[in-house]
Amino acid sequence: MVGESTIKWNPFAPDYFTDPYPIYALSRQHNPIQKDSFGNILLFRYRDVAPILDSRDFEVSSLSTFFESKESYIFKNSSACPFLAKTTSKWLMYLNGDIHRKLRIALGKVLFSYDFDRLIQEAVQDCISHFEDDKELDIVDFSKYFIYHILKQFIGLKDFASLEKVVEFSNLAARSQDIFVSKQMYLKMNECFIEGIGLFADSNFKANLIKELDGFEFDEDDYYSILAVTLMAFFETSKDNLSYSLYTILSKPSLVTYILEADTKQIKWITEELIRYISPLQFTVRISKKEVTLQGLMYPKDTRFVLGIASANRDEEIFDSPDEIIPNRQANPHLAFGAGVHLCLGALIARKEMEFGLKPMVAFLQNFNINTIQPLRWGNQIFMRTLESAMLKRN
CATH number at residue 159: 1.10.630.10
Q: In whole angstroms, give the CA distance from residue 87 to residue 67.
A: 10
Judge whether 2 lies within some domain.
no
Split into its structural domains, the chain has a count of 1
pLDDT tens for the chain, residues 1 to 395: 455 678 999 999 999 999 999 999 999 999 999 999 889 999 999 999 999 999 999 999 999 999 999 999 999 988 899 999 999 999 999 999 999 999 999 999 999 999 999 999 999 999 999 999 999 999 999 999 999 999 998 898 888 889 999 999 999 999 999 988 999 999 999 999 999 999 998 788 999 999 999 888 899 999 999 999 999 999 999 999 999 999 999 999 999 999 999 999 999 999 999 999 999 999 999 999 999 999 889 999 999 999 999 999 999 999 999 999 999 999 999 999 999 999 999 999 999 999 999 999 999 999 999 998 888 999 999 999 999 999 999 99
CA dihedral 229, 230, 236, 238 (to 10 degrees): 150
Judge whether 11 lies within some domain.
no
Judge whether 7 lies within some domain.
no
Judge whether 8 lies within some domain.
no
Judge whether 242 lies within some domain.
yes
Judge whether 14 lies within some domain.
no
Judge whether 220 lies within some domain.
yes
Structural domain span for residue 224: 21-394
Judge whether 154 lies within some domain.
yes
Q: pTM for the complete prediction?
A: 0.94
